[in-house]
Amino acid sequence: MKPLKMGNIEAKVPIIQGGMGIGISLGRLAGAVALEGGIGMISAAQIGFKEPDFDTDTKAANLRAIEKEYKKARRIAPEGIIGFNLMVAMRHYEEYVRAAVKAGADLIVSGAGLPTDLPGIVKDADVKLAPIVSTEKSAKVILKFWDKKYRKIPDLLVIEGPQAGGHLGFAREKLEKFEDPAVYAGEVRRILAVVKDFEEKYGTRIPTALGGGIDTPEAVKAALSLGVDAVQVATRFVTTEECDADIRYKESYINASKEDIIIVKSPVGMPGRAINNEMIKKVENGERIFHSPCHRCLNRCDPANIPYCITDALIHAAKGETKKALLFCGANAYKANRIETVKEVLEDLKKLL
């Protein structure tokens, strides 16, 4: 098993636990993964939802929770690699990035939009930066932009494929085109060719990770055989004891069948993958779901015209209020049939390495 090297830091196990918002991957899950030698990622998306002032001062609640959850993870894994996942689409993105760096994050993984300004925000802080891309086009855009504006390459490039959970970086037609893993493997090779150009230009390696539907030792092996250095896995970690979500959310994975997993259009404007439920059916029937006072969480959202509030729906999910929730999941969530420990999941995934 080759460790994942990012400059001066090294994860013994080349498995990154993908950030899962809202409240699915917090300090407990990230700490548990980091303790076992993988990379634990805390999702900063509306991370302060359990704070008493979340409704009245959302930003302060989120900033406080960033520090709390980092400390929690660090207590569990004093020597482990712990990062934050931050979505570009979030309002106050810059401040949340700075808070994550100040808390002590080793790594920032950033997607849901291209993190064009990330190097400028962190400046020369000692933190590794990893954009998420899904296509050759997005890889080219971000690598060229960072090169031109900052003379910088990513410390890690995360490639997120069409089987992933949460928001997806593809238009619906592309999702269909890439349904066949062999077709997406071609796109991964094209992304790696783009990476190679920049490796040559800078005379150094740019480590890469592939995520989306990787849930077995065979899938880990197949991903690495495409030429990436690591895998990013999320769905498989939801049904662990350590996952920060309510047990009823975990059970919704265990009880789901393949047909229950569908693509929805999120109010963010991107497609997302989720478990079909009452809430989704209501929205599909044209119902508008009442939402709590707006937290102004996204840069681009029109609260008066959205069918439902994504923050409300994802918080319901984390709290286990599954009927009212948007239950984000990866394409293979239906395969879960029991609650495992993080250690068991990692032991299984790295079996063939």
Ligand X SMILES: Cc1cc2nc3c(=O)[nH]c(=O)nc-3n(C[C@H](O)[C@H](O)[C@H](O)COP(=O)(O)O)c2cc1C
Q: How far apart are CA 169 and CA 171, in angstroms?
A: 7
- Helices 93-103 and 58-76, interaxial angle, to 10°? 30
**Which residue in 4, 11, 15, 20 binds ligand X (CB under 6 A)?**
20
Q: Alpha-carbon distance 162 to 68, whole Å?
A: 33
| Contact status: 27 vs ligand X (CB under 6 A) | no
Rounded-to-integer distance, Cα 60 and Cα 223, Å: 40
Q: Is 34 in the site for ligand X (CB under 6 A)?
A: no
Q: According to the binding rule CB under 6 A, does residue 162 interact with ligand X?
A: no
The single-letter DSSP state of residue 213 is S
- Give min distance, CB of 285 to ligand X, in A: 24
Give the one residue of 211, 246, 297, 311 binding ligand X; rule: CB under 6 A: 211
CB of 200 vs ligand X, minimal distance in Å? 28
Is the distance from CB of 38 to CB of 9 less than 8 angstroms? Answer: no
In this structure, is the dihedral angle defined by the CA atoms of residues 301, 304, 306 and 309, taken in order, positive or negative? positive
By CB under 6 A, is residue 114 in contact with ligand X?
no
Specify the stretch interacting with ligand X by CB under 6 A; choose among 46-54, 62-70, 219-227, 229-237.
Answer: 229-237
Say how many residues make up the chain.
353
Q: Among residue numbers 234 through 293, which ones bind ligand X (CB under 6 A)?
A: 234-236
Cα–Cα distance for residue pair 162/151, rounded to 1 Å: 30
Residue 231, beta-bridge partner list:
15, 210
Give 269-311 as a DSSP string: SSEEEEE--HHHHHHHTTPPPP-PSP---BSS--TTT-SS-HH
Beta carbon nearer to ligand X, 74 or 250: 250
62 binds ligand X per the rule CB under 6 A: no
Nearest Cα neighbor of 97 from 133, 123, 136 is 123
169 contacts ligand X (rule: CB under 6 A)? no
Stretch that binds ligand X, among 60-68, 133-141, 226-234, 298-306 (CB under 6 A): 226-234
Site map for ligand X, 68-87, x if CB under 6 A? -----------------x-x
Q: How far is the CB of 107 from ligand X (least distance, A)?
A: 13
Residue 201 Cβ, how far from ligand X at the closest point, in Å?
27
Amino acid sitting at position 250: K
- Distance in Å, CB of 290 to ligand X, minimum: 24
Least gap, CB of 3 to ligand X (angstroms): 20
Among the residue ranges 89-97, 190-198, 231-239, 261-269, the one whose residues contact ligand X (CB under 6 A)? 231-239
Among 213, 295, 315, 325, binds ligand X (CB under 6 A): 213
**Of 212 and 267, CB closest to ligand X:** 212
Q: State which H helix or E strand residue 5 sits in.
A: strand 4-6
x/- map, 332-351, ligand X, by CB under 6 A: x-------------------
- Report the amino acid identity of residue 18: G
Name the one range near ligand X by CB under 6 A: 98-106, 144-152, 227-235, 296-304: 227-235
User: What does each C-alpha distance from 194 to 119, 136, 208, 219, 310 come to in angstroms?
Assistant: 20, 7, 12, 23, 34
The yes or no reply on residue 322 touching ligand X (CB under 6 A) is no
The CB-of-83 to ligand X minimum distance in angstroms stands at: 11
Q: How far apart, in whole angstroms, are the C-alpha atoms of residue 252 and residue 316? A: 13
Site residues for ligand X per CB under 6 A: 18-21, 24, 43, 45, 85, 87, 111-112, 132, 160, 163-166, 211-214, 232-236, 328-330, 332
